Amino acid sequence: MAPSRHSAPSEEEQLRRNTVGINKETVSNVSSTDFPGHFPGEDHAFSIDRFKSAFSVQFHRNEPNDASFSLVGIDASLANAFRRILIAEIPTLAIEDVYIENNTSVIQDEVLAHRLGLIPFNGGREGIHNFLKWYKKPEAGEDPYANSFDWNTVRLELNVTCTVNPDASPTETDPLKAYNHAHVYAKDIVFVPTGRQVEYFSGENAIAPVNPDILIAKLRPKQSINLAMHMHKGIGADHSKFSPVATASYRLLPLINITRPIIGADAEKFQRCFPEGVIGLEKISREEASRPGSGYEGHAGELKAVVKDTMKDTVSREALRHPEFEGKVKLGRRRDHFIFSIESTGQWDSDELFLEAVKHLKLKCKKLEQQVINMVQ
């Protein structure tokens, strides 16, 4: 039997396959086709070398709480796996138990406890990630404090009473000036270290709200809130308060292909069809105007539309709604180019979160591999 010969698609054909078509009222070419057997005579079997040559990571922004980067050369299933892990499987510290001693505010106990649970906290990274371990809930009938230790529970307190401000004018109508503690903020929560927590959470590393100005409740004179809170580690799959991200999303890289020249007033209108910075205006050079078949003949010095930065595009399809641009532009999205946006809630840096998601996925793959081995044995 003669050995099979595999031909590789041209660069133009590969780009066509990797482009999701954005039409006026439809979306085309949405299904992935790069798998074995789809194209006769082509080898699409997975290999590590081929993956390495096609894959790349490009960072666009890397701030502690906000990162944006591109993953190029992967399938949507992998990109979505990272997104789901970021949202639901990386552990963080959040308020789990609220022990209310006194609450005479207008907010019900259960609503107040829910609001407290959603406040994001930060602290020493070494203590949060390495010192604090998982908390095991006590069985029914056991002492609720039986499994609470310094290495799995963080204690917080909130004790606030609203009083009349003696220095305020009798005609003052602003409650923030007429009363003391009229508003209860996250900064009023006090961290109470126990045991070895002092070693990890002291000074600048103390457990504290990420945003001290989060409003918890509004009080009036003689109203009080006195309660204690226990923080535990958890994951977003259990409750969204444990999710380490405020936002973890991705989008495909937009593609804009100007197929025929767009000149003059049409170029300016074309630019307004896109967000700022996507389309630029350049003067047509004499060389372009003198080149036969360029479409710029006789338009030297006039403005033409050029693509500057497709990453800023939101793919609104506005340009496709105007008849003067019909047949002059093609819109699409690159199927294997994912632009990720990660906003951390504070306990992890945004780039750390992505690396942690990679670790989780690797661990899942190892577990699956072992289960397959056990199944075939």
pLDDT digit string (tens) for 266-311?
999 999 999 999 999 999 998 888 888 888 888 889 999 999 999 9
Average pLDDT over residues 154-177: 95
**How far apart, in whole angstroms, are the C-alpha atoms of residue 339 and residue 100?**
44
Helices (H), the chain: 11-17, 48-54, 76-88, 109-117, 125-126, 175-178, 197-200, 265-272, 286-290, 350-376
d(C-alpha 369, C-alpha 363), whole Å: 10
Q: How do the domains of the chain map onto residue ranges?
A: 92-243, 260-327
How many angstroms separate the CA atoms of 205 and 209, rounded?
12
Residue 95 CB partners (closer than 8 Å, separation 6+): 116, 117, 119, 121, 156, 229, 230, 231, 241
Copy the structure tokens of residue 198: 């002092």
- Please state, in angstroms and as integers, the Cα–Cα distance from residue 157 to each residue in 100, 163, 229, 242, 331, following that order: 10, 20, 6, 20, 55
The CA distance from 39 to 146, in Å, is 63
Which neighbouring-strand residues pair with 257?
330
Topology agreement, domain 92-243 and domain 260-327: no
* Integer Cα distance of 348 and 155 in angstroms: 21
Residue type, 270: F
Mean pLDDT of the region 45-56: 88
- List pLDDT tens digits, range 124-140: 999 999 999 999 988 88
Question: What is the rounded (10 degree) CA torsion for 86, 89, 94, 97?
Answer: 150
Has residue 1 got a pLDDT over 60?
no
Closest CA to 158 of 188, 115, 203: 188
Buried b (16+ CB within 10 A) or exposed e, 241-273: bbbbbeebebebbbbbebeebbbeebbeebbeb
What's the chain's average pLDDT? 92
Architecture of domain 92-243: Beta Complex (2.170)
Could you tell me which of 44, 26, 43 has the C-alpha nearest to residue 35?
44
DSSP tag of 195: T
**Distances 47 to 43, 44, 321 between C-alpha atoms, Å:** 10, 9, 43
CATH 3.30.1360.10 fits domain 260-327: yes
Decide: 275 and 318 in contact? Cβ < 8 Å: no
Tell me how long the chain is.
377
State how far the alpha carbon of 310 is from the alpha carbons of 58, 281, 321, 377, in Å. 15, 15, 19, 52
pLDDT in tens, 304-352: 999 999 999 999 999 999 999 999 999 999 999 999 999 999 999 999 9
Asked whether 317 and 331 are in contact (CB, 8 A), the reply is yes
Query: Which of 32-36, 57-61, 109-113 is least confident?
Result: 32-36
When pLDDT is cut at 50, 70 and 90, the band that residue 6 belongs to is low
SS3 letters across 283-321:
ECCHHHHHCCCCCCCCCCCCEEEEECCHHHCCCCCHHHH
DSSP 127: I
> What pTM was computed for the model?
0.87
Helical pair 76-88 and 350-376, crossing angle rounded to 10 deg: 110
**Residue of 14 and 83 predicted with greater confidence:** 83
Compute φ and ψ for 323, nearest 5 degrees.
Answer: -65, -25
Whether 144 shows a pLDDT value over 90: the answer reads no
Once rounded to an integer, what is the mean pLDDT over residues 212-219?
Answer: 96
Q: Is the pLDDT of residue 189 over 80?
A: yes
